[in-house]
A = this chain, B = another copy of it.
Amino acid sequence: MWLQGGDDCPPGVRFETDPSLPPEAFRLTGGKGGCLIESADEAGRMYGGYALLAKLALGGTPETISMTNAPAVSERILNHWDNLTGDVERGYSGKSLFFKNGEVSYDPQRMKDYARLLASVGINRVCFNNVNVTPLAARLITDKLGDLAQLAAIFRPFHIKTIIAVDFSSPILLGGLSTADPLDGGVAAWWAKAAETVYKAIPDLAGFLVKADSEFRDGPAAMGRTQADGANVIARALKPYGGKVYWRCFVYNCEQDWRDTKTDRPKAAYDHFFPLDGSFDNNVILQVKHGPSDFQVREPNSPLLGAMKDTAQAMELQVTQEYTGQQIDLYALAVQWEEILSAPVSDTRSTRGLVGQEIQAVAAVANTGDDANWTGHTLAQANLYAFGRLAWDPSLTAREILSDWIGLTFGTNPALREPLLNMMLDSRGVYEKYNAPLGLCWMVNINHHYGPSPEGYEFSKWGTYHRADAKAIGVDRTDNGTGYTSQYHPYLRALYSNPDTCPEELLLYFHRLPYTYTLKSGKTLLQHIYDTHFEGAEDVEGFIETWDGLQPLLPESAYYSVAARLKRQLVNAREWRDVINTYFYRKSGIPDRQGRKIYP
């Protein structure tokens, strides 16, 4: 058990129980020669211990330490998209930490390190297997359950509960039933039996995660049932054991016809789930992606978040950099997450205010793998760290979090910390500059999602169109267009519907505009595109200069591995610059006002 005098425990620490504190919370009280950690439970004692260690590592002295801290939400979840083959879907940090050659397989010592790592940043739920459950992975609740239980046992002392991603068709696939219809009695009985078996092996299991009716996966809709029917049949099976169903809301038509301008993918989650508010059992949590598209560099927040008054929700973020540079490009996600949390949901409230209320859990897709530094890009460790910190305390700023991460990782020397902090704080904006402009999204290469392909998705079935022609670009999502804006609170609806009040970084998410449209800067939309794309590549040159300047202050291996990635990022930024600029130049025939090089 952690902090019973083990090697994590700093000297001079005393523990006391204060039952008045909330679960997992702690109070640190410093004094000469030591520190008191008070908590109501063992988890709080552990988190207090980690907080103390962090304070000390950041240069605090016991005398000055005094804090009380409780998590905003009781479930802070990390979802791994690891396959039993050992491959990680959207993984950029090597192979799976948990699986290999079709089996549960890991290094026990490293696994303990990983559990400690996650606990130290506040994560208390982990799903090891991919939401896209293969037939092999489905067997984690049958013949591979024993192996999974052993893995779960490693995380248990760190107060991390296991979640299992299950296939909605398990009754057919594993049980040999002829249907997975949630209203079928045999199906309900099968899930009940499955839950009984699983809880025997993992008595503190948090629950099952389900991706249903989504991207070719089976689900209740195929059987004419609602999402609530689908979630509830599993929830009822888990209920006797205190388990929950984490039901993903990533349900949309992934076989859309591009000719169809009525269907609008961003509307899908709200359309599918909002009308069902009140139909879900109380141990169902709807896991809603933060944006209505799919972890793009810039999206508005999902209108579904917080909109369902009688349904529990988890906000889903993505730590792995699928669309955000794939751990080659530097991208401090804390900056984006701070924006997401600060975004208004009405004239009086921001998304941050939802967390702990309407949003009762925060989940994210992991960025870790078996690379020695866990995350491929060393600085991408900060993304995992930031996720844990923000899930615990959504009021933190990116600056606070990244400053802490740098201090804990490279030390508190301001000559290193300040320039690196600024570089990381800038990184999201820089990536956005050379990515798709003004919230346009989806100008990325299909399938692997790295590098530009302006029309790669334009005629696909994924519902991702910008419909650029010689004069204009974008989809009108106001009431004059697809009507997507009507899903928002009236305040936001009005804000987004008018190009004059719409936040400019989202202009092309909500509006179709001519290249000659004038922005607040006085620049045309097209000139803004040219300018930001030239700037983005230049900014990456600046990152390289900054990083090279820090070399003497950095551990050698960290310096070289990040330097190598920054070089690749520069190639990528230049590729985005040139492809996007050429694309728009060819489309519009309008040259750059500054006469810079645009390839014809």
Contact = CB atoms under 8 A, between A and B. Distances in A.
B600 A470 contact: no
A33 to B, nearest CB: 63
Interface in A471-503: 471
Contacts of A306: none
Contacts of A585: 469
A589 B469 contact: yes
A523 interface: no
Given A459-B453, A579-B459, A470 B259 contact: no
Q: Is the interface of A mostly helix, strand, loop or mixed?
A: loop
Contacts of A600: 467, 469
Nearest to A599: B259
A259 B578 contact: yes
Contacts of A470: 470, 586-589
A37 interface: no
A454 interface: yes
A455 B579 CA distance: 12
A456 interface: yes
A204 to B, nearest CB: 41
Contacts of A72: none
Contacts of A468: 586
A452 interface: yes
B459 A452 contact: yes
Copies in the complex: 2
Nearest to A446: B446
Interface in A388-420: none
A583 B465 CA distance: 13
Contacts of A455: 453-456, 458
Interface string A566-592: 000000000100110011011111000
Contacts of A460: 453
A469 B447 CA distance: 26
A453 B447 CA distance: 14
Contacts of A467: 586, 600
Contacts of A583: 459
A469 B578 contact: no
Contact of A456 (B453, B578, B586, B588): B453
A303 B563 CA distance: 46
Interface string A430-472: 0000000000000000110000111110111000000111110
Nearest to A586: B469
Interface in A420-436: none
Contacts of A471: 589
Nearest to A454: B455
A446 B459 CA distance: 13
Contacts of A447: 447
Given A453-B459, A470-B589, 20 more contacts: A258-B579, A259-B599, A446-B446, A446-B456, A447-B447, A454-B455, A454-B459, A455-B455, A455-B458, A456-B456, A459-B575, A459-B582, A467-B586, A468-B586, A469-B585, A469-B587, A469-B600, A470-B470, A470-B586, A470-B588
12 contacts: A446-B456, A453-B460, A454-B459, A455-B455, A456-B456, A459-B582, A459-B583, A467-B586, A469-B586, A469-B587, A469-B589, A470-B589
